[in-house]
Structures are given as structure tokens and as C-alpha cells.
Amino acid sequence: MTTLLHIECSPRKQRSASLDIARQFIARYQHNAPDTEVITLDLWALELPEFNGEVMDAKYAGLSGTPLTEEQAGAWAALKSLAAYLHQADVLVFSVPLWNFAVPYKLKHFIDVVSQKDVLFEFSPEHGLRGLLQDKTAVNVYARGMDFSAPGAQAMDFQRPYMDAWLGFIGVTNVHSLYVEKTILGPEIDRASRLKSTALALLLADQLA
Ligand SMILES: Cc1cc2nc3c(=O)[nH]c(=O)nc-3n(C[C@H](O)[C@H](O)[C@H](O)COP(=O)(O)O)c2cc1C
């Protein structure tokens, strides 16, 4: 059985372009591989743990080998249980809106919480850094209001490069990117863009499942 984790990063549930394409990809994937279990994490419905002083203290206590206090251990357990979603999945689907040239703050919050040593990566002086999410596939659906194929626009893209870098850091190197662009340029353009992106999403689902 395959476990597919969908991480929803848009708060816009009805009109979200990233969710629209991601859901069509997932439906086709599940159609092709009916024993796929789909788990959805809506980052806007979750109470993401604060990365506050307590968690910071837990992090540095862990790094220095100091025993954690009860509160620190509780905070660390909450963080690990969130990261467990990533560990248990075979396929990670991120539906990611572009916000101010980068990812929405809820996704950054999630990444800051779960990206910890011995949780998503390990480090040793001999071997350096190694991501702990091995043998996984990621499918990232990027929604953008404007046209990022325009000359010079890519210099403003801190969405895909950031996601690629983070996923590589935690060990995920089999990464597929889908785009739905020009979503704020009117219904006609939006529709054409969604149709084009849907076709590519279905093709990708057929390749992967
Ligand atoms: C807070 C905010 C910031 C945005 N910043 C950008 C931007 O920098 N560039 C851009 O092309 N579109 C930007 N947009 C438009 C979104 O990328 C676009 O609406 C996209 O479809 C959002 O994804 P969604 O439809 O899945 O929610 C922004 C939208 C919001 C709400």
C-alpha cells in the first residue's frame, strides 16, 4: 500500500488553484493505484506548535546532550508527531500558493517546526548532513497570480527554489513540480491555465501510479 500525504498550504478552499490541481492529481493517482491511502494535513486547520523559547531550549538541550525537562520533552514530542506524517508517507504532495515571492507563512512555520536534527536530518562531523526522508517522491503544485515565465520573473521566485532546497536537505530528491499561473488575470486566463496544468498533473499521475 502507498501512503500519500497531501499538505494543503492555501486557506482558500473553494477557489484555490493549487488545491484544484493537487486534488485532480491525487484523484487520478488513487484511481490508478486504488490501495493508496490519502492523508490530508491542512496547515490552516492545524494548531501548529509555536516554535517558542521552550522548544528552542529543548532543541539546544538535545543538541548538547542535556536531559530535557518534562515541558521540553512534551514540546519535542509534539514536534516529532507532526514530522511523523512526513516519515510515514511514500508520496508527498504540497499545494503551495505564491505569497510575496515565497511560500505562505503557515508552510514556513511547519517547516521550521519539523526540520530538526535526528527528526528530519542527521549530522555527524565524519559524514556531515544527511536527510532522513529517503526513497520518497514529492509533487509540488505551485500556484502563482502572475506569469513567471516572463523574462526576469524567475529572479523573484523564492517559492520553488526554497521548496527544492528544503526537500533536498531532508533527503527528498525525487521532486516533480507542477505550475498553475496567471490565476489573478481574469477568469478566461485562469481557466486556460488550470486546464493546461490539469493535463500535466494527470499525465504525471499516470507516470507515477
Ligand atoms: C498574501 C498574498 C500574496 C501574494 N503574492 C503574490 C506574488 O508575490 N506574486 C504573484 O504572482 N502572486 C501573488 N499572489 C497571488 C497568488 O499567488 C495567487 O492568488 C495564487 O492563485 C494563490 O494560490 P491558491 O489559488 O492556491 O490560493 C499573492 C496572493 C496573496 C493572498
Residue 47 pLDDT level (bands cut at 50, 70, 90): very high
Question: Residues 22-42: what's their mean pLDDT?
Answer: 98
Provide, rounded to the nearest whole percent, the portion of the chain with pLDDT above 90.
92
Question: Residues 48-72: what's their mean pLDDT?
Answer: 91
- The tally of domains found in the chain comes to 1
Angle between helix 187-208 and 17-32 (nearest 10): 30
Highest mean pLDDT: which range of 13-17, 31-35, 49-53: 31-35
- The pLDDT tens digits for 88-125 are 999 999 999 999 999 999 999 999 999 999 999 999 99
33 is in an annotated binding site: no
Q: Residues with Cβ < 8 Å from 27, sequence gap 6 or more?
A: none
Q: Rounded CA gap, 201 and 158, in Å?
A: 22
CA-wise closest residue to 93 among 36, 158, 151, 155: 36
What are the residues facing 38 on neighbouring strands?
A: 4
Residue 147 near residue 186 (C-beta atoms within 8 A): no
Q: What's 182's domain CATH number?
A: 3.40.50.360
Angle between helix 53-64 and 70-88 (nearest 10): 80
pLDDT surpasses 90 at 151 = no
Ligand 1 probe mutation, 7, 19, 144, 158, most atoms within 8 A of CB:
144
Is 9 a pocket residue for ligand 1 (Cβ < 6 Å)?
no
CA 58, 164, 9, 33 torsion: positive or negative?
negative
Ligand 1 probe mutation, 184, 191, 194, most atoms within 8 A of CB:
184
Residue 80 pLDDT level (bands cut at 50, 70, 90): very high
Q: Rounded CA gap, 126 and 141, in Å?
A: 36
**Interval between CA 121 and ligand 1 midpoint (Å):** 31
pLDDT surpasses 90 at 29 = yes
The pLDDT mean for the chain works out to 96
pLDDT surpasses 90 at 150 = no
The least confident of 33-37, 60-64, 149-153, 186-190 is 149-153
pLDDT surpasses 90 at 149 = no
Q: In which domain, by residue range, is 26 found?
A: 3-208
The least confident of 59-68, 88-97, 134-143 is 59-68
Ligand 1 atom showing the smallest separation from residue 18 Cα: 26
**Which region, left, alpha or beta, applies to residue 129 given φ > 0 means left and ψ of -120 to 50 means alpha?**
beta
pLDDT surpasses 90 at 67 = yes
